[in-house]
Amino acid sequence: MDIRVQAEAFDYGAEAGAFAAAATGAGAVVSFAGIVRDRASGGAGGGAGGRLARMEIEHYPGMTEKALAAMAGTARDRWSLNDVLIIHRHGPMVPGEVIMMVATAAPHRGDAFAAAEFLMDYLKSRAPFWKKEVTAEGADWVAAKDADEDALARW
Amino acid sequence: MKLTVLYFAWLRERVGLPRETVETGATTVAGLVEELRAREERYALAFSDLKSVRVALDQELADFDAPLDGVREVAFFPPMTGG
């Protein structure tokens, strides 16, 4: 299990490849990357906003690492997993940059997919990160979506 | 009781600082929020709608009715937007 919270950019392909190569005994690896979109979310409405200049991600050092480790631990308890990787960045980034990734390795794909989706749903609403979008018009904090909170109910 | 109080995202911007030490007689999070609100307008503004405020006690998510017994660090922040 590998949890990293960092400001530095990382190579998603290289990380996913290394994770798969190290997952001996696993028959399936699922990986997901979150990317900075080129449009602002448009506030609470969730519609497409203006062109995004950059995104700034604030986090709670200490709690972030603990929360991610707890989620990964829960995933390992609930599904048969060989390994879990979570990398999440903070600080400023521009459209197209990779914000974060999750990878899961399991004997069979069902567990790898389910655990990856579980981790993404929890990361959205239970990991202490806050996104701010900067456009030509100014800067706005991204509002949490009810749909993201509702998504937790299925787990 | 002395507490370290942290603010993140728009709560930090409204209060105007990222952290402070607070001397409080409050026994619950809700009591602490009432004390802060009574201090100054910027706190009243930051805590005007508690539906959009989350709280963590010693880095674990908690409810507003949670007791402050033995707690050292209280953090207030908006609903999280990770991923």
Which CA distances in Å does A149 have to A78, A123, A155, B79? 20, 11, 11, 9
Task: State the nearest Cα–Cα gap between A5 and chain B, in angstroms.
Answer: 12
Asked, for residue B33, whether it belongs to a domain, the answer is yes
Q: For residue A41, what pLDDT is reported?
A: 87
Asked, for residue B82, whether it belongs to a domain, the answer is no
Q: For residue A127, what pLDDT is reported?
A: 97
**Coil, strand or helix: which one is B66?**
coil
Q: Of B9, B61, B79, which has the smallest distance from its Cβ to A58's Cβ?
A: B9
Number of domains in chain B: 1
Does ipTM top 0.90? yes
Q: For residue A50, what pLDDT is reported?
A: 87
| CATH for the A2-154 domain, from 3.90.1170.40, 3.40.50.620, 3.40.50.2300, 3.90.650.10 | 3.90.1170.40
Task: State the nearest Cα–Cα gap between B50 and chain A, in angstroms.
Answer: 15
Task: State the nearest Cα–Cα gap between A125 and chain B, in angstroms.
Answer: 5
CB contact under 8 A, A60 and B79: no
Among chain B residues, CA nearest to A102? B83
Q: For residue B73, what pLDDT is reported?
A: 98
CB contact under 8 A, A130 and B61: no
Q: For residue B72, what pLDDT is reported?
A: 98
Q: pLDDT by residue (tens digit) across B35-77? A: 999 999 999 999 999 999 999 999 999 999 999 999 999 999 9
Asked, for residue B83, whether it belongs to a domain, the answer is no
Task: Report the half-sphere exposure of A59 (CA within 13 A, side-chain side).
Answer: 27
Residue A57: strand pairing partners: A91, A131
8 A C-beta contact, residue A88 and residue A76? no
Chain B residues 15-74 with CB within 8 Å of chain A? 56, 59-61
Asked, for residue B23, whether it belongs to a domain, the answer is yes
How is residue A23 written in tokens?
Answer: 């997952």
Q: How far apart are CA B1 and CA B25, in angstroms?
A: 6
Of A129, A97, A112, A103, the residue nearest A11 (C-alpha): A97
The CATH number linked to B9 is: 3.10.20.30
CB contact under 8 A, B83 and A130: no
Asked, for residue B26, whether it belongs to a domain, the answer is yes
Looking at beta carbons, which residues of chain B come within 8 Å of A125? 79-80, 82
Q: For residue A13, what pLDDT is reported?
A: 98
Mutate which of A68, A122, A129 to test chain B, going by most B C-beta atoms within 10 A?
A129
Looking at beta carbons, which residues of chain A come within 8 Å of B12? 58
- Domain extent, residue B63, equals 2-77
8 A C-beta contact, residue B54 and residue A125? no
Looking at beta carbons, which residues of chain A come within 8 Å of B75? 60, 63, 128
Asked, for residue B17, whether it belongs to a domain, the answer is yes
Task: Going residue by residue through chain A, which has 155 residues, state the pLDDT in tens, using 9 for 90 and above.
Answer: 999 999 999 999 999 999 999 999 999 999 999 999 999 986 544 456 789 999 999 999 999 999 999 999 999 999 999 999 999 999 999 999 999 999 999 999 999 999 999 999 999 999 999 999 999 999 999 999 989 989 999 99
Asked, for residue B18, whether it belongs to a domain, the answer is yes
